Amino acid sequence: MLNIIICGAPGSGKGTQSALIKDKYNLLHLSTGDLLRAEIAAKSDLGRVAESYIANGQLVPDSMIIDILDKAISEREAADTYNGLILDGFPRTVAQAEALEGLLKKHGKELSVLLDLAVDEAELVDRLIKRGQTSGRSDDNLETIKKRLDVYHEKTEPVNDYYKKQGKYVAIPGMGSIDEIFGRICEAIEKL
């Protein structure tokens, strides 16, 4: 089994690379951002609460995210032909990382590695502004992007240390072409 966390600042390319990784290694791709946006589109109670946090560049409360992810793993692994999981956008806080241990154990899984996509801040802002021109996402505007980057430094970066201590952290240079970056990721996975 290959159970991967893909991590990095907003705009670092987690979603793009996850799509390539899941196809090559036959993994179940779970993006907490996508799961939340699906709840918003379905106008569920949960979606309504999540929407206000997302549009403000804030994180959705940990307990809500952990429930969503638990449900998503249970539902999707029923048709279990996957070789593992790729978690995209989770864990985003140390509390989520701690909860993930229990969650993986409950589903009989163990984490293989955290891949951290490292991208310069100016490039991140550039990519997100560009994405905002077509994504229609409420959080892809300059003011909210700046807030998301602050939240990332304050709450999500400490997650890297959590996995460094476990010897499961691998940094991937996230600048360059999509193919180049994907090549670096495959190399890191094959070394595991």
CA distances from 118 to 38, 63, 124, 126, 167 (A): 28, 28, 10, 15, 18
Q: Which range of residues in 50-58, 116-124, 162-170, 184-192 is near ligand ADP by CB under 6 A?
A: 50-58
Of 139, 162, 174, 184, the residue at the interface with ligand ADP (CB under 6 A) is 139
Distance CA 15, CA 89 (A): 9
Of 65, 100, 113, 170, the residue at the interface with ligand ADP (CB under 6 A) is 65
Distance CA 99, CA 18 (A): 22
Determine, following the binding rule CB under 6 A, whether residue 184 of this chain makes contact with ligand ADP: no
How many residues touch ligand ADP (CB under 6 A)? 18
Residues within window 20-39 making contact with ligand ADP, judged by CB under 6 A: 32-33, 36
Q: How far is the CB of 81 from ligand ADP (least distance, A)?
A: 26
Q: Which residue is nearest to ligand ADP (CB)?
A: 33
Distance CA 159, CA 144 (A): 22
Are 39 and 68 contacting, i.e. CB atoms less than 8 angstroms apart? yes
Residues within window 92-121 making contact with ligand ADP, judged by CB under 6 A: 92, 96
Task: Find residue 120's DSSP bridge partners.
Answer: none
Question: Inter-axis angle of helices 121-135 and 142-151, to 10 degrees?
Answer: 130
Determine, following the binding rule CB under 6 A, whether residue 54 of this chain makes contact with ligand ADP: yes
Query: Alpha helix (H) ranges present in 26-61?
Result: 32-41, 45-55
Q: How far is the CB of 63 from ligand ADP (least distance, A)?
A: 10
CA distances from 2 to 40, 53, 97, 118, 123 (A): 30, 32, 17, 22, 30
Which lies closer to ligand ADP via its Cβ, residue 36 or residue 86? 36
Which lies closer to ligand ADP via its Cβ, residue 17 or residue 32? 32
Site residues (CB under 6 A) for ligand ADP? 10-11, 14, 32-33, 36, 53-54, 58-60, 65, 89-90, 92, 96, 139, 148
